[in-house]
Amino acid sequence: MKYPVEVTELSQRIVEVEADSRAEAERIAEEMWNQEEIVLDSGDFKRAFFNAEKVPEKIRVLVVRPGKRPERAEIGLELEDMQKVVGGRIQQFQPFGDEAAIICNEEGKLEGLPPNRAIYSQDGEMVDIVVGTFFICDAPISSETFQSLTEEQMKKYEEMFHDPERFYRAGDGIKVQKAMPHKEMER
Q: 10 vs 40, 46, 63, CA distance in Å? A: 10, 6, 46
Written in H, E and C, the secondary structure of 31-59 is: HHHHCCCCCCCHHHEEEEEEEECCCCCEE
How high is the mean pLDDT of the chain? 90
pTM, entire model: 0.67
Residue 97 DSSP symbol: S
Per-residue pLDDT for 55 more than 80?
no
- The burial class, CB within 10 Å (0-12 / 13-18 / 19+), for 98 is middle
Q: Give the pLDDT score at 106.
A: 96
Q: How many CB atoms lie within 10 A of CB 70?
A: 23
Report the distance separating Cα 27 and Cα 10, nearest Å: 21
Report the distance separating Cα 91 and Cα 87, nearest Å: 11
Q: Which of 44-48, 58-62, 171-175 has the lowest mean pLDDT?
A: 171-175
Per-residue pLDDT tens for 9-51? 999 999 999 999 999 999 999 999 999 999 999 999 999 988 8
Hey, which residues does 63 pair with through a beta bridge? 71, 135
Q: Give the pLDDT score at 24.
A: 93
